[in-house]
């Protein structure tokens, strides 16, 4: 019985990985010019396929996967089907960091990224300090704190927009809409390492999430430490979100819609729908980003704008059918 279960799990992951590889190859093939999947690693295509497209495709897969896993985790933790990775105000804090970097004209690659990440982590620390996250029944309080921080950071950005030049204002708007066109391979690799480590840790919590959804009393009587569970979900989800917004700001609706699609596909067993969320989110963002850079070539559409256009109607459809 145990052997059959292990074989089924291996098959499950192999199918998801195989589909993801096919989509990644498609992302590397399609663009301003088509490159056959069999010629991607040809030296003649090195610049286009591996230096220009690969960073975006790799980052896109990790962005989608990370957002979807965090979305599933937060929806479970808050017991709220409308929760998403940006519910705690991290994206707004990161945007303030970007604006500060522009105002002081910081050109250093590492320093500019560190400023954005630091502002994101300050937001997380504020939430941790104010909310009393280790206590029971703090879900509504956390959401309200996140809403308050979002309003505050949006106001700060609005004020800074007024005093900034038009060029800087345009750059911050593009960044806020989820622009991935400037990502380089080093960005994608750094992002991938952090997102993969934290996502795997969240995916491994699937059994704990199954217990948590039975209710606090049953979960505790079954041996689940609620305080530790909440801390792990909060910290891992927040770190993934902070890393993602550091490189590409907020990509809307992926973290809300994809978890619901995963539940439709696999049901409510979090040991299965967590990994499905990761792979489905990665596939969705790679496909949408490929459309963004090919549909109106040589012009590009910001990734976040298209995810919102696609995600919003789909999300409304899910709401009508019942979450």
pLDDT (tens digit per residue) in 35-48: 888 888 888 888 88
Q: Is the pLDDT of residue 136 over 80?
A: no
At a CB cut-off of 8 Å and minimum separation 6, what does 214 contact? 222
Cα–Cα distances (Å) from 244 to 54, 86, 227, 262, in that order, read 17, 11, 26, 21
Tell me the pLDDT of the chain averaged across its residues.
85
177-189 tens-digit pLDDT:
777 777 888 889 9
pLDDT computed for residue 166 by the predictor:
66
Residue 164 pLDDT > 80 = no
User: What is the structure's pLDDT at 211?
Assistant: 94
Say how far apart CA 131 and CA 125 lie, in whole Å: 10
Looking at residue 291, its pLDDT comes to 92
Query: How far is the C-alpha of 181 from the C-alpha of 303, rounded, in Å?
Result: 9
Q: What is the mean pLDDT of residues 56-84?
A: 93
Alpha carbon distance, N-terminus to C-terminus of the chain: 34
Confidence of residue 200 (pLDDT cuts 50, 70, 90): very high
Query: Span 24-43, mean pLDDT?
Result: 86
Q: 């989110």: which residue's tokens?
A: 281
How many residues belong to the chain? 323
Contact criterion met (CB below 8 Å) for 252 and 304 = yes
- Mean pLDDT throughout 38-67? 88
pLDDT value for 284: 94
- The per-residue DSSP string of 89-132 comes to SHHHHHHHHHHHHHHTT---HHHHHHHHHHHHHHHHHHHHHHHT
DSSP string for residues in 295-318: TTTTS---HHHHHHHHHHHHHHHH
For 270-294, what is the mean pLDDT? 93
Could you give the CA distance from residue 71 to residue 57 in angstroms, rounded to a whole number? 21
Q: Residue 114 is encoded by which pair of tokens?
A: 């560190």
Task: Identify which has the larger pLDDT, 12 or 21.
Answer: 21
Tokens encoding 228 = 């530790």
**Per-residue pLDDT tens for 222-255?**
999 888 998 899 889 989 998 998 888 778 889 9
At 80-135, the pLDDT tens digits run 888 888 888 887 888 788 778 877 777 777 788 888 888 888 888 888 878 766 56
**pLDDT of residue 323 exceeding 70:** no
| Record: fold of 2-321 | ABC transporter involved in vitamin B12 uptake, BtuC (1.10.3470)
Residue 135: its pLDDT value, please? 61
- The domain ranges of the chain are 2-321
| pTM > 0.85 | yes
């Amino acid at each position: 019985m145990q052997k059959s279960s292990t074989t089924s799990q291996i098959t499950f992951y192999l199918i998801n990985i195989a589909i993801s590889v096919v989509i990644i190859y498609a992302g590397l093939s399609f663009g301003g010019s088509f490159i056959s999947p069999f010629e991607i690693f040809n030296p003649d295509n090195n610049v286009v396929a591996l230096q220009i497209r690969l960073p975006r495709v790799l980052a896109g897969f990790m962005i989608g996967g990370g957002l979807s896993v965090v979305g599933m985790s937060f929806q479970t933790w808050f017991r709220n089907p409308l929760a998403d990775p940006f519910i705690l105000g991290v994206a707004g804090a990161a945007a303030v960091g970007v604006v500060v970097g522009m105002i002081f004209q910081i050109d250093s690659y590492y320093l500019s990224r560190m400023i954005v990440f630091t502002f994101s982590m300050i937001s997380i620390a504020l939430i941790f300090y104010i909310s009393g996250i280790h206590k029971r029944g703090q879900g509504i309080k956390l959401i309200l704190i996140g809403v308050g921080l979002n309003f505050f950071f949006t106001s700060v950005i609005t004020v800074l927009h007024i005093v900034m030049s038009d060029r800087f204002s345009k750059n911050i708007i593009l960044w806020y809409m989820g622009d991935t066109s400037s990502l380089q391979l080093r960005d994608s690799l750094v992002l991938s390492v952090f997102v993969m480590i934290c996502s795997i840790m969240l995916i491994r919590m699937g059994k704990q999430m199954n217990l948590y959804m039975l209710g606090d009393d049953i979960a505790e009587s079954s041996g689940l430490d609620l305080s530790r569970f909440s801390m792990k979900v909060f910290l891992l989800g927040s770190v993934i979100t902070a890393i993602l917004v550091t490189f590409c700001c907020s990509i809307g609706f992926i973290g809300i819609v994809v978890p619901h699609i995963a539940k439709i596909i696999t049901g409510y067993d979090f040991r299965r729908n967590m990994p499905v969320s990761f792979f489905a989110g990665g596939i969705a963002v790679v496909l949408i980003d490929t459309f963004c850079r090919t549909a109106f070539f040589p012009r590009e559409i910001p990734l976040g704008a298209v995810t919102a256009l696609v995600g919003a109607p789909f999300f409304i459809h899910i709401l009508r059918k019942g979450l």
